[in-house]
Amino acid sequence: MYLKLLRDFQRERVYVWEDEFVVDDDEKVPRKYLRELFFWLCVKFDVTGSLTFRDHEISLHDEGKILLCRKHEKVSVLLHEFTHLIIWDMCEDADILHVPHGREWLSLYIILLNRVMGYDLLELITSAKKHKLKLNIQQVMKYGRKTRYSIQA
């Protein structure tokens, strides 16, 4: 099945937002923890994928595979790439158009940052809006949480 990609209109703004709001708080964590978190997320979202660590400059998602480079062995980067995996999986199954850092992607990423890393939901939404990022606020408010939960390593 051919996955249709639309223009990634807010990609650069997402990266700037992450650098300013997300990445500063995120420390490098053991690979074992990242693997356990990845497995937990796959079960929770009923998706199949693989996680590989590699010596490279960039991390990415490619058709169900997440490739993390050494400098990106962080929860936020795993969540970023996992969000691509979920959106890709949903769009491929439905044969619908897909914007890599679009409204649906960002909404799900914000929910994961809130639920897994404990970021305040309203702060995430406010900071994203300040960066002129488009998201589905109703969806975020519906599925986001006011309290944090995470798996234990």
pLDDT in tens, 36-91: 999 999 999 898 889 989 887 677 777 778 888 887 888 988 999 999 888 877 76
| Residue 59 burial class via C-beta count within 10 angstroms: exposed 0-12, middle 13-18, buried 19 and up | buried
Q: How many CB atoms lie within 10 A of CB 102?
A: 21
CA 35 to chain centre: 15
**Tens digit of pLDDT for each residue in 117-138?**
888 889 999 999 999 988 888 8
**Would you say 31 and 73 are in contact if contact means Cβ atoms under 8 Å apart?**
yes
Q: 97 versus 12: which is more confidently predicted? A: 12
**pLDDT given at position 39:** 94
| 24, 119 contact by CB (below 8 A) | no
Q: Cα–Cα distance between 131 and 153 in angstroms, integer? A: 33
* Alpha carbon separation from 103 to 18, 37, 65, 91 (Å, rounded): 15, 24, 22, 14
At residue 151, does pLDDT exceed 60? no
